[in-house]
Structure 1
Amino acid sequence: MHQGSVLLVLHAHLPFVRHPEHAEFLEEDWFYEAVTETYIPLLDLAEDLESRGSPARFSLVLSPTLCEMLADPLLMGRYQRRLEGLIDLAGREVARRAGDGAFREAARANLVAFETARRVFVERHRGNLLAGFRALQDAGRIEILTCGATHGLFPLMERAESVRAQVRVAVRNYERHFGRRPSGMWLPECGFRPGHDRILAAEGIRYFCVESHAVVFASPRPKYTLYAPIRTPGGPSVFARDIESGRQVWSATEGYPGDPAYREFYRDLGFDGAAEDVRPWLHADGVRRNLGIKLHRVTGAVPLHEKQPWNPAVAFDRARTHAAHFHDSRVRQLRELRARLGRPAVLLSPYDAELFGHWWFEGPRFLAALLDRAAEREEVLFTTPGAVLAGGPPQQVAMPTLSTWGSGGYNSVWLNPSNDWTYPPLHALEDRMIALVRGHRHASGPIGRALRQAAREFLLAQSSDWAFIMNAGTAVSYAHKRFKSHVDGFLTLEEQVRRWRVDEGRLADLEGRDNCFPEIDVSAWEPEGVA
């Protein structure tokens, strides 16, 4: 008996990182690792489900900046060369470990993963992963949501025009890549502020996702709390994150990825291998870095040097066990909710896509086993938000509260002493961007190009990723540099546009580096009330 529905939503996003001025760049490696370990495995998983006619479906958020990188010839050419190099290195590691019973199968599993990535990327899709995802959506296999153009945090923007521009640029970018307008939007960081629902509705967004407390404390309080979509006064529907299913995967203490059998992320051949063995695959500076070949398992709460050999067969079996546990837990949860609510419940289970494959290597196998079990048992329907809205009962009208899915539930991750200095210039740039468009919207030639590039620089400065990195204390100097470079790029171009005199060399440099959103239309920043 059908007990209810689970909406598995995987949020795939990376900041726009592209450095044509360097032959190799550490932060670009973030992207290449995610392509191999997450995006290709998810594409392969969805295509396998489609080939077998499985009824199970899931949703995927592909942020506009990620789409732009996946469509960029420079980055994808660099990615393919990197992948070929890793296949070479992994093959050498397999040969080195041929007589090593403890690590032989771990080395082979790394090689198989790289070879599979090459088969999907090169042979099946000719380097065009977005076309693969588009075909899956056209076939009804997956539902693709968009996100804010550069993942700017909407609640911390002062002008409605800024929020509208992030949404409108994203919608147009989605149309270019997927041939249709998006129905759903992942609000960056699940950040919602009352009133933004009307902006979303005006751009054709039918639904969005929020953190749990946004709906629990909505006004009026929803009758079915988290377990049914609500409709905002502005029109779009809202799905709220289910706490229980999130904890089973995300929790640092209870979550599946911490199981001792799974592959350890922080032990990597780039640091473990002999210098002479790995040097050709490091950057020219010779600094040790992650290469993506990992031979150890989580083991437990032990120092890195005490991690034990990874056994792929055991780990993959554990993923199937955890998938069965997750599925059966949802059956019990939905059965209890149905009895309590008097109707089938809807559970939104959203996760960062990069958890599956990148941080948790066995994650894609977990997903495959989960969706297969759901298809076999038919007690839980794994479906999409759009499908729920198309066939569901009328929704209660309520306004979600201010919220994010960050620690503490509000804005503190992106607004604290590590990053609060970024907001005065960002808020000043909001006013300046709107004023610049008001005076020069119809400019053409170099002035029009400079205006459009100023818009790109402004959007990139708004990315929530820079504040997040500053708060996390990881690549802080890079986040500082990127934020300041985009602010500087905007101010430089703003001055040139106002003077009607463009330094075309400087403009070409910025266009060549920050080349996202070729379809950008600055009318997105028209002041409120201007057609």
Structure 2
Amino acid sequence: MPQGYVSLVLHAHLPFVRHPEYETFLEEDWLYEAITETYIPLISMMDGLLHDGIDFRLTMSMTPPLCAMLRDPLLQERYIRELHKLIELTEKEIDRTRHGEAHIYHEVAWFYHHRLKHCRHVFCDQYHRDLVSAFRKFQDAGKLEIITCGATHGFLPLMMEYPQAVRAQVMVARDSYRECFGRDPRGIWLPECAYVPGVEKFLQEAEIRWFLLDSHGVMFAEPRPRYGIFAPLFTKAGPAAFGRDVESSKQVWSSQEGYPGDAHYRDFYRDVGYDLDFDYIKNYIQPNGLRKFTGLKYHRITGKTSFKEVYHPQIARERAADHAGNFMFNREKQVEHLHGLMGTEPIIIAPYDAELYGHWWFEGPDFLNFFFRKAACDQKTFATITPSEYLQAYPTQQLAQPAASSWGNKGYWEVWLEESNAWIYPHLHVAAQRMIDLARDYKDCYGLADRAMKQAARELLLAQSSDWAFIMKTGTMVPYAVKRTKDHILRFTRLHDQIRAGQIDERFLANCEWRDNIFPNIHWRHYC
């Protein structure tokens, strides 16, 4: 029997970005990049582990907006179009780097060519464009636990004045999960790990058994947790809270002290979309001529200067294997120490953004692959486990009230509520109250009014996405985040006014349904 357990939890989320009104749209690249660099590599990793008979456990949230985009035929078609363009670019690059000074990049050009063709094979031939079903396969095999999140990643503590809005975020997410995975979710990644007492009662209503908190959300619980962050706490409402382990997180999260900063790993910022001559690269960047990342990056981190040496994928892969071994060793020693202190089997919760693995840290999926193989074959101190399995094996845990908390700078919610984004909340709060009032006053409506109520709920949920406030704070793509917030609030307000007046503009409604088609079967009466 192992002395303890390690639970890796990946948070796979992107905001809902879909613009059928444009032939191409830059922000849709967020999804295409994540598919190529994170989701397909994770699928291929798990396929390999299954094929080789490696016993592993991984937990992964797949948020409703991400699932909706992955299942959307328009975005699937556009992804294939982008993939074909990149494969064409690699063919040109293989020819360009065949001779002369550029020959030093020839090997890595071939590497990208083979990698992108593999992505096309997995996406088109192996899983027939349906990556949600790919992840579902691993859950059905008992190796992956897929958990849910808020319906649109809404920041729940800042909605608590309007409990029905919090309820809708949870219940709509549960409904979406049922449609995608054919069962109810057992766990939830609270958006931004943001928690305030009272959230758990909505989780209990949805029959969600556990949720994750940042370390201080558990450590500052009342009464003080006997085992710290190394055992879950049951709330009075029922769902259990698991706390993030600081040590294992830092080793991977930190670009300065953690593994991703290794000099041999791929440099994220050097990209042929910016490095190559405009006339050569113009067909592979934005149609307006502005440059963008293509994903073809030929340099390694090297050091903290602007000078970058050529990237060698095989050397980087060997470093990932070394780091996986080091991570395993550290978890062994940590588990041994904790088991001696606690007198029982600890669980080490190691949560990360899924896009860290592959997109930001290109070698991240290789690291995970090596870790799972080494953990299964090279040691007996700990086993990988999902939080649901841990609760099943250890059903008796301390009862306590977790503390209000989130992750992000300083550990509370000032990232999502400060001078750059505070202006959005009065509008969101008014819209939430109006939606609640509509649901109460028109609960028996049908036909065109029912369609309008569904779309009003969609627009409110999309406006509530915490991604927009986060983007405003970090200063990236701010005009887009501002526009998305305003557009959804304006569309919601217009629909609200039309419903109240009994004069619904069906043409406007149809246009909204065409643009914002998330949650086709949304149950707006969750706001009642």
TM-score, normalised with respect to structure 2: 0.98
The one of 155, 171, 174 equivalent to 2:174 is 171
Other structure's SS at 2:351 match: strand
Shift of 1:43: 1.2
Rounded to whole Å, the distance in 2 between the matches of 1:17 and 1:438 is 30
**Structure 2 counterparts to residues 206-221 of structure 1, below 5 A:** 206-221=209-224
In the alignment, structure 1 residue 358 sits paired with structure 2 residue 359: yes
- Comparing 91-100 with 208-217, greater Cα deviation is found at 91-100
* Deviation per residue, 1:247-288 (Å, 9 max, x gap): 001113211111111101101111112222211122321211
Task: Answer yes or no: is 1:230 the counterpart of 2:233.
Answer: yes
2:251 aligned with 1:248, yes or no?
A: yes
- Give the Å deviation of 1:461: 0.5
Number of aligned residue pairs: give it: 524
Deviations 1:141-189 (A, max 9, x none): 2000000000001111121111110000000000001001100110000
Aligned to 1:107: 109
Which residue does 2:410 correspond to in 1?
408
Residue among 492, 515, 518 paired with 1:516 = 518
Note the 1:304-323 alignment, pairs <5 A: 306-323=307-324
Give the Cα–Cα distance (whole angstroms) in 2 for the partners of residues 140 and 276 of structure 1.
51
Equivalent runs, 1:21-420 vs 2, <5 Å? 21-99=21-99, 100-157=102-159, 158-303=161-306, 306-376=307-377, 377-420=379-422
After the TM superposition, which of the residue ranges 107-116 and 26-35 deviates more from structure 2? 107-116
Secondary structure at 1:411 match in 2: coil
CA distance in 2, matches of 1:332, 1:106: 38
What is the alpha-carbon distance in structure 1 between the residues aligned to residue 359 and residue 256 of structure 2?
19
Q: Is the 8 A contact 2:12 2:63 kept in 1?
A: yes
What fraction of aligned residue pairs are identical, expressed as a percent? 48
Matches of 1:378 and 1:21, distance apart in 2: 55
CA deviation after TM superposition for structure 1 residue 294, in Å? 0.6
CA distance in 2, matches of 1:260, 1:153: 36
Q: What amino acid is aligned across from residue 12 of structure 1 in structure 2?
A: A
**For 1:262, what is the secondary structure of its paired residue?**
coil
- The letter for the 2-side match of 1:44 is S
Distance across 2 between alignment mates of 1:308 and 1:394? 54
SS in 1 for 2:359: coil
Alignment partner of 1:344: what SS? Answer: coil
Amino acid at match of 1:293: L
CA contact (8 A) 1:426 1:462 kept: yes
**How far did residue 101 of structure 1 move?**
4.8
C-alpha contact 2:459 2:489 (8 A) present in aligned 1:
yes
* Residue identity opposite 1:127 in structure 2: R
Secondary structure of residue in 2 paired with 1:147: coil
The alpha carbon displacement at 1:81 in A equals: 1.0
CA contact (8 A) 2:123 2:131 kept: yes
Is contact 2:7-2:347 (8 Å) kept? Answer: yes
Query: What secondary structure is seen at the aligned counterpart in 1 of 2:362?
Result: coil
Q: Which residue of the partner structure matches residue 499 of structure 1?
A: 501
Q: CA–CA distance in 2 between the matches of 1:95 and 1:391?
A: 57
Q: Indicate the RMSD between aligned Cα atoms, in angstroms.
A: 1.0
Contact 2:57 2:144 in 1 (8 A): yes
Say whether the 8 Å CA contact 1:229–1:238 is kept in structure 2.
Answer: yes
**2:336–2:381 CA contact under 8 A, matched in 1:** no
Amino acid corresponding to residue 440 of structure 2 in structure 1:
R
Structure 2 distance, partners of 1:321, 1:95, is 34
1:56–1:382 Cα contact (<8 Å) kept = yes
Alignment of 1:428-443 (within 5 A): 428-443=430-445
| CA–CA distance in structure 1, aligned partners of residues 384 and 95 of structure 2 | 42
Superposed CA deviations along residues 218-244 of structure 1, whole A, max 9, x for unmatched, are 011110010011111110011100000
The CA deviation at 1:387 is 1.0
Task: For 2:395 and 2:230, locate their aligned partners in 1 and report how far apart those are by CA, in whole Å.
Answer: 13
Q: Give per-residue Cα distances to partners, 1:189-208, cap 9 Å, x unaligned.
A: 00111111111101110111
Supply the AA of the counterpart residue of 1:184: G
Distance 1:261 1:91 in 2: 25
TM-score by length of 1: 0.97
Residues 447 and 501, structure 1, Cα contact 8 Å, conserved in 2:
no
Q: For each residue in 1:109-156, what CA deviation from the matched residue of structure 2 results, as whole angstroms up to 9, or x when unmatched?
A: 222221111111111001111111111111112000000000001111
One-letter amino acid matched to 2:465: S
Equivalent position amino acid for 1:361 in 2:
F
Q: Which runs of 5+ in 2 are unaligned?
A: none
Q: Secondary structure at the match of 1:103?
A: helix
Give per-residue Cα distances to partners, 1:87-125, cap 9 Å, x unaligned.
Answer: 111122122222345222222222222111111111100
Gaps of 5+ in 1: 527-531
Distance in 2 (alpha carbons) for counterparts of 1:326 and 1:225: 21
Contact 1:148 1:188 in 2 (8 A): yes
Distance 2:3 2:477 in 1: 45
Shift of 1:325: 0.6
Question: Does the Cα contact within 8 Å between 1:110 and 1:294 map onto a contact in 2?
Answer: no
For each residue in 1:456-511, what CA deviation from the matched residue of structure 2 results, as whole angstroms up to 9, or x when unmatched? 00000100000000000010000000000000010000000011111111111110
Alignment-mate amino acid for residue 25 of structure 1: F
| Corresponding residue for residue 529 of structure 1 | none
Q: Which amino acid aligns with 2:25?
A: F
How far, CA to CA, are the matches of 1:452 and 1:393 in structure 2? 40
**1:460 equivalenced with 2:429 (yes/no):** no
Letter of the structure 1 residue corresponding to residue 51 of structure 2: S
Answer whether contact 1:3 1:335 (CA < 8 A) is retained: yes
Q: Deviations over 1:348-379 (max 9, x none)?
A: 00000000000111110000000000010232
